[in-house]
Structure 1
């Protein structure tokens, strides 16, 4: 729709190579061994977080969000919580409903009892040590600052 196309396939393609399902809050679906739940999270435009389960392993992904109940629900008990921390306290914390600070990401991880917090979505103009330190002040579990091309394992 954004590209003013009709149907689910790009111009010049005669069939869809995959199924397309719009996301919605509380949507649940399965892909292979993965059970996936989406939750609408707090952001100025429609945005979703994901909870992905395979066997006993759980990966939660915040998507773009600020603190909200849906984020806590997604992260609850996750083995790995991939969480954005695009803002920092004292500089960006006056903006609410857009992104988490490192501190707010750490607080969400602590409330949810996650096994491992992995911070991501750090803008180029932010020293990654700042959101990391903010998260470490409020979350005592393991925390990783995600870098490009990192591979993170979900361990139970």
Structure 2
């Protein structure tokens, strides 16, 4: 299993980094997690739009799904149009972005809505989903291929159940908007890197990747905060980061 980071920023893109977007490749099957703002340009550096085999959306905030629209446009308007793209999303989460072009793209995707807690198969991946707290309904997911597991929080990194979702996983891709303190108005809805490290340690994961950093969050400070609790490998999700899982 290979993880390629397309973007790892929270809220809005910067000149250096798009928002959430992660390409997971297993034996040539490419699953796109959360096509957030400004991730499609990075995606197209890794292959044409038609090379994406399926999309998973964790929740309906635009920094996690807005670039589903340009992805579908690129597939639709290509000289060699791609087959309909399977899109997996919690009920209603993708409705706004899928409606942007009216009826133009309706034949370019097949929407599979699911409920948090559902388990299903996408290509070679077994997906285990779990509701994780956020300002809107948000779903964390565990991707399983054989003995390799990758867990992703969406924007639910503050939820204590992250440790259960990620238990024993090879990699935890964890929302860590802040460094070591979450503002009162976001407590329980967004996480800091220190919390991500605590969840990674409790889950005994192989490695931790911090993502959804606020645009002004210092990456080195985030790593140091996570290291207070987790002694394994820690990295920050930046465009172009590639991690191969055995």
SS in 2 for 1:22: strand
Q: Are 2:172 and 1:81 equivalent residues in the alignment?
A: yes
For the residues of structure 2 that align with 1:125 and 1:20, how far apart are their CA atoms?
Answer: 35
Q: Are 2:139 and 1:48 equivalent residues in the alignment?
A: yes
Query: Which residue number in structure 1 is paired with residue 236 of structure 2?
Result: 145
Q: Find the partner of 1:107 among 198, 210, 227.
A: 198
Per-residue deviation at 1:19? 3.0
Query: Which residue number in structure 2 is paired with residue 64 of structure 1?
Result: 155
Query: Which residue number in structure 2 is paired with residue 32 of structure 1?
Result: 123
Per-residue deviation at 1:140? 1.0
How many residue pairs get aligned? The number is 150
Q: Is contact 1:44-1:97 (8 Å) kept? A: no
Per-residue deviation at 1:97? 1.8
Per-residue deviation at 1:93? 4.6
Per-residue deviation at 1:87? 1.3
Per-residue deviation at 1:141? 1.1
SS in 1 for 2:242: coil
Query: Which residue number in structure 1 is paired with residue 224 of structure 2?
Result: 133
Query: Which residue number in structure 2 is paired with residue 98 of structure 1?
Result: 189
Q: Is contact 2:157-2:174 (8 Å) kept? A: no
List, as ranges, runs of 4+ consecutive aligned residues in structure 1 with deviation greater than 2 Å: 1-5, 12-15, 66-70, 92-95
Unaligned runs of 5+ in 2: 1-94
Query: Which residue number in structure 1 is paired with residue 110 of structure 2?
Result: 19
For the residues of structure 2 that align with 1:111 and 1:84, how far apart are their CA atoms?
Answer: 16
Between 138-147 and 110-119, the greater mean CA deviation after superposition: 138-147
For the residues of structure 2 that align with 1:3 and 1:148, how far apart are their CA atoms?
Answer: 23
Per-residue deviation at 1:3? 6.4
In the superposition, the TM-score normalised over structure 1's length comes to: 0.86
Per-residue deviation at 1:145? 1.6
